[in-house]
Structure 1
């Protein structure tokens, strides 16, 4: 067996959260190795990056590469399509109401991963290894990670960005609470006849949200959007069996022909909807970020935005305390405190909203309808809700906050 490669921080996982972790922690003055297979293959998955996430990517020097392939989200429209007796009309949330030109931008996952990989390749303090991390030995003074080709990595800290089944989390003995929903999500990239005008539209149905999110046009298609369609498993089974032209017809009908005639540019997968919450976000010489720590339904674009807040907070904790040891216990405790309320509150909110759509219980419909009516009729309440969803101040690291603030020196 070859001698171990030494580094300060081993990042396990090379999705967007892992690549961002590698880049930001290297910028915070640490030697970082990011391990995991590269994957920039075109898929039907996109991510809506909110204002704070865009600020973070700007500070990391990544945003200039993404801006040309990102579509601004200026309005978020919610349409009650449940058939409830207490349904209200469409409710528009406009970025200008909270002093923004847009809430954020929608970008394809593959483009985000490619931009992060390119930035990481040019970061002197970061190294990249495309092997999987297959095992860990946690000790008082460090941790050794074993890679799939028997390479050994000696580090002071492991950042687990290795997904919902996180081997790092399992090796550290962190328990989880996991659950499932009676739903499947279908993703797709669409081209369509009518322009989206920067409006993201979320139809709330009895089977879950049907969400159309703007994408930039291309030489082949002037008007494009991404789709996330949540439905019952039996509906997913029927949809899977449809020929492409029948499938586009079903999408047009479910969207109430909002975007006119639709073409299926790229169909994605049918993904079972699950939830997961780690009992802790840290252990000895380990920090969890992204889906290694929290998983919930694709509602309100909270998933990756929350994961990027994990990453930014971890970099901030390291930069603020400046421990000689990157796996310092006090630093990890500060990270745990910084993330708990933000993660927990959003997980609860998304869970309640999703489950409220699935029930036909009249009191629940009444409460949901009253809530939407209040948001429509009371501008201060609507603005407060938008700020909390897109510009959280209490739960956000400094680098993501709006307005003048002191940024960590090396970010």
Structure 2
């Protein structure tokens, strides 16, 4: 069936795109690159400028990119544009403990070689991914980049009119909200969300340490929240370095963030342990309140939500961004399929298929991370003993262990 037969008529006085993406963060920009690489006419709008730039100074922020997400970034032409090689995560250790104490000997070890892969994922600095995205977007002939610009969107049954702050406007058959948790497009569409405040704060940064990390990540469950040490590439100044993600009660986090580097480093060491020798904080400290969010619908007329506009989860499993990349992979595949046969990329049928593909996965991940937070955030002795036995049991049941490995890689 031809596009003209299947797609409602649209006004011809404005330029028409198949897709308009509002928000050029990692999720929105990757989706734009994937679609444009397929020859799909797309536009992307963001309030920040996106010129190619030199690698800025190290600031401590990093992303854990799962294997499935890395494959999406490769297909989008972004991975090869990273200005420096990412650091592979080849092993993951999981332990239970308390600050200042040795972790339980009942721990769990995942090795990528157990499933025939060289790495579970890679650590990519936020600044490096931004450089790669900025380099990729302007190189795509099918993509129109509008940045810096703000957009006003009016949707109707036939499509959407996108009016930009510079006075220009265009039409699109589908609008994709990639603006983050406070998505104006989601609010405009009247899509309700459920939220949960964990009463905790996440702290993100980096440390230099005395011993090599050997590409091993540590996830340590503590009474007030999880602590993760994630391997990153060293530099001449800091040959051994790691990223940290530390979750704690907000009052404790505020006290820690107010400490000088020596005091902050001591608190990190109390939680991480001494397996990497002496440590000290490097780069900036970042913090954010921990909460969960889930949209009751992922779609509306001519609208789809992706990434944090649709869902936000606890960082206990390090899967927030990877969940957004799974949205990208599913939606891009549906739009590309429709494009090949001349079908409407914003049709109710396509949007229903997208929601059916993504909402159950996100709900399962939301439920799993919430259950983990509740289970591992409990310091009652019977619960602590039971979860330590459970951690040890996973390592002794190969099918169960392989399932958790696949989930960590984003391939299950």
2:20 equivalent to 1:10: yes
Contact 1:160 / 1:166 at 8 angstroms: preserved in 2? yes
Map of 1:51 onto structure 2: 67
Secondary structure class of the residue paired with 1:79? strand
- Of the candidates 325, 344, 347, which is equivalent to residue 344 of structure 2? 325
Work out the CA distance in 2 between the residues paired with 1:67 and 1:197: 22
The aligned runs of 1:152-231 (5 Å cut-off) are 152-231=169-248
Q: Counterpart of 1:345 in 2: which secondary structure?
A: helix
Give the equivalent residue in structure 1 for 2:401.
382
Q: RMSD in angstroms over aligned alpha carbons?
A: 2.1
After superposition, the C-alpha distances for 1:210-250 in whole angstroms (9 at most, x for unaligned) are 11100011222211110111011111121122112221222
SS in 2 for 1:230: strand
* Correspondence 1:116-155 to 2 at 5 A: 116-155=133-172
1:354 to 355, 366, 373: 373
Give the TM-score normalised by the residue count of structure 2.
0.89
Secondary structure at 1:165's aligned position in 2?
coil
Note the C-alpha offset of 1:93.
Answer: 0.8
- After superposition, the Cα gap between the structure-2 partners of 1:362 and 1:199, relative to the gap in structure 1 and judged at 3 Å, is same
Give yes or no for contact 1:156–1:326 (8 Å, CA) kept in 2. Answer: yes
Number of residue equivalences: 390
Name the CA distance, whole Å, in 1 between partners of 2:336 and 2:19: 14
Contact 2:45 2:151 in 1 (8 A): no
Matches within 5 A, 1:51-90: 51-66=67-82, 68-82=84-98, 88-90=105-107
Residue 19 of structure 1 pairs with residue 52 of structure 2: no
**Structure 1 residue 280 displacement after superposition:** 1.1
Change (3 A) 1:150 1:299: farther
Q: Distance in 1 between matches of 2:209 and 2:270?
A: 13
Are 2:67 and 2:411, in contact at CA under 8 Å, matched by a contact in 1?
no
What SS does the aligned partner of 2:316 have? coil
Structure 2, unmatched stretches of 5+, are 1-12
Relative to structure 1, is the Cα distance of residues 27 and 90 closer, same or farther in structure 2, using a 3 angstrom cutoff? same
1:290-312 Cα offsets, whole Å, 9 max, x none, are 10001011122211111111011
For 2:92, what is the secondary structure of its paired residue?
strand
Per the alignment, residue 120 of structure 2 pairs with 103
> More deviation in 4-13 or 273-282?
4-13
Alignment pair present for 1:239 and 2:263: no
Q: Deviations over 1:353-380 (max 9, x none)?
A: 0122222345543442332121122222
Structure 2 Cα separation of the partners of residues 127 and 219 of structure 1: 40
What is the rounded CA distance, in whole Å, between the counterparts of 1:266 and 1:57 in structure 2?
A: 26
Work out the CA distance in 2 between the residues paired with 1:11 and 1:128: 10
